[in-house]
Amino acid sequence: MSIELRINYIYMEAQTAERFKTASTTLGWAYRSLAQHCIHVFLEEYRAFYALAAHEDYIARELTEKSYYEILESSGDLPEYKKGKPNWAETPLSKVPAPPTTQANRYRYNTISLSDHNAVCLKVAQIVHEVPLTVLVSRIVKDHFERYWKSGYLPQIQMHEQKTFDLSKVKS
């Protein structure tokens, strides 16, 4: 099953916005599903981190894994911490600051579709990072294009522009 999450907008600085637009217009990624793709890639790469964070969080709240999962799945309110909040000093997004939340950086979006499990994992990420969903998704999108632009997106664009299949002709 899947769930639709409403994200009215994403904050992107100029470079990220340009890359996002280029990936959509030049490489064929649908604008309305590109943030969803970024989230899927992010959660796939960091699933183990967020699974451990969920474990630490439900233990600190004195919940069972199943009850914790079910509360997150149903969008219910989690109980207060009974053993102190876990400290997640180093996270996958520790070095990815949120883009400034100015009007100039605000890009309209709509909804994303995630598997039920990924939606729960995204809620765990929201707990870890202590930010609204819009800011979390904005950081994930920024991280995605910082990490994968040169290795994944740009070579496709350059090979097309040079009318070549030879990746070595475009790698710098």
pLDDT tens-digit series, residues 21-65: 999 999 888 988 999 999 999 999 999 999 999 999 999 999 999
Interacting residues of 81 by C-beta distance below 8 A, sequence separation 6+: 60, 61
- Ramachandran category for residue 84: left, alpha or beta (phi over 0 → left; psi -120 to 50 → alpha): left
- Per the structure, the complete domain to which residue 24 belongs is given by 2-169
Q: How many CB atoms lie within 10 A of CB 122?
A: 22
User: How many folded domains does the chain comprise?
Assistant: 1
Measured in whole angstroms, the distance separating CA 35 from the mean position of its chain's CA atoms is 7
pLDDT tens-digit series, residues 8-21: 999 999 999 999 99
Which of the four pLDDT bands, split at 50, 70 and 90, describes residue 89?
confident
* Best CA proximity match to 93, nearest among 69, 60, 125, 71: 125
DSSP string of 33-95, one letter each residue = HHHHHHHHHHHHHHHHHHHHHHHHHHHHTT--HHHHHHHHHTTPPPPPPSS------S-TTTT
Which of the four pLDDT bands, split at 50, 70 and 90, describes residue 168?
confident
pLDDT tens-digit series, residues 116-154: 999 999 999 999 999 999 999 999 999 999 999 999 999
Whether the Cβ atoms of residue 38 and residue 144 lie closer than 8 Å to each other: yes
H or E element: which one contains 108?
strand 106-108
Interacting residues of 7 by C-beta distance below 8 A, sequence separation 6+: 35, 109, 110, 111, 112, 133, 134, 137
